[in-house]
Amino acid sequence: MLYSQYSNPLELISLYINQGRFGHFVSSFIDADKKRKEVEMKKDEDNKLWLAYLASRSEKPYGEWLNSIVTSDQNRRNGNNRSGDESLDDEEIVSIIDGLFPKDISDSPKRGENPNGTI
Burial class (CB in 10 A: 0-12, 13-18, 19+), 114: exposed
DSSP letters for 36-65? HHHHHHHHHHHHHHHHHHHHHT-SS-HHHH
Residue 106 pLDDT greater than 60, yes or no: no
Q: What is the pLDDT of residues 42-94, one digit of tens each?
A: 999 888 888 888 888 888 888 888 888 877 776 666 665 555 556 777 888 88
Q: What are phi and psi of 105, to 5 degrees?
A: -85, 105
Q: What is the pLDDT of residues 3-22, one digit of tens each?
A: 556 677 788 888 888 888 88
Q: Are 69 and 100 in contact (CB under 8 A)?
A: yes
Average pLDDT over residues 35-48: 92
CA dist 68 and 98 (Å) reads: 13
Write down the H helix ranges in the chain.
2-5, 9-19, 22-56, 62-80, 90-100
Give the pLDDT of residue 80. Answer: 54
pTM of structure: 0.46
